[in-house]
Every structure is written in structure tokens, then in C-alpha cells.
Amino acid sequence: MQLEIVTPDKQVYKGDITSASFPGTDGSFGILHRHAPMVAVLKKGSIKVLEVNSKEELFFEVDGGVLEVKHDKIIVLAE
């Protein structure tokens, strides 16, 4: 599964991941391989990412944004 996190200024992250969790406006949620297509609004908080072949978790702080999941690709337009 591929994740891309983009801000108005730059691309913050792009890579292959195993799982990720996001700070949704209705509560935190996780996404795994073969997740159903969806669009969600994010609130201020941390995105937690587990990369493929890694046991280390990565964290990215966002002030909000929008997320789209489609065909095993997650795109985050973050503030």
C-alpha cells in the first residue's frame, strides 16, 4: 500500500507502508492493505505510519486536512 502526505508547500512523505492511523474528525481510525475506498476529514493530530519491512513507527503532525483511499493508495492533503 502506498502513502503520500502533501502540504501546500511540499511533499512530506511518500512510501510503501503496512498500516497507518489518522486523527479523523469523528475519532482516530486505521487503514490496512485492501481498505475500501473512502474520503475523510482530518483534525489536528498525529499520523502514525508503519513502513514495509520496518518495526519503527513514523509520526507526522498535521493541523487538519483531507484523506482519500483508493486502489491501495492513500493521499493526504494536509495543513
- pLDDT value, residue 55: 85
Domain region containing 11: 2-78
Note the pLDDT tens digit of each residue in 9-67.
999 999 999 999 999 999 999 999 999 999 999 999 999 999 998 888 999 999 999 99
* Distance separating alpha carbons of residues 69 and 75, to the nearest angstrom: 7
* Distance separating alpha carbons of residues 13 and 7, to the nearest angstrom: 10
* Distance separating alpha carbons of residues 56 and 51, to the nearest angstrom: 8
Q: Computed over its alpha carbons, how large is the radius of gyration of the chain?
A: 11
Indicate the number of domains in the chain. Answer: 1
Per the CB < 8 A criterion, the answer to whether 11 and 5 are in contact is yes
Residue bearing cell 513514523: 58
> The CATH number of the domain where 58 resides is what?
2.60.15.10
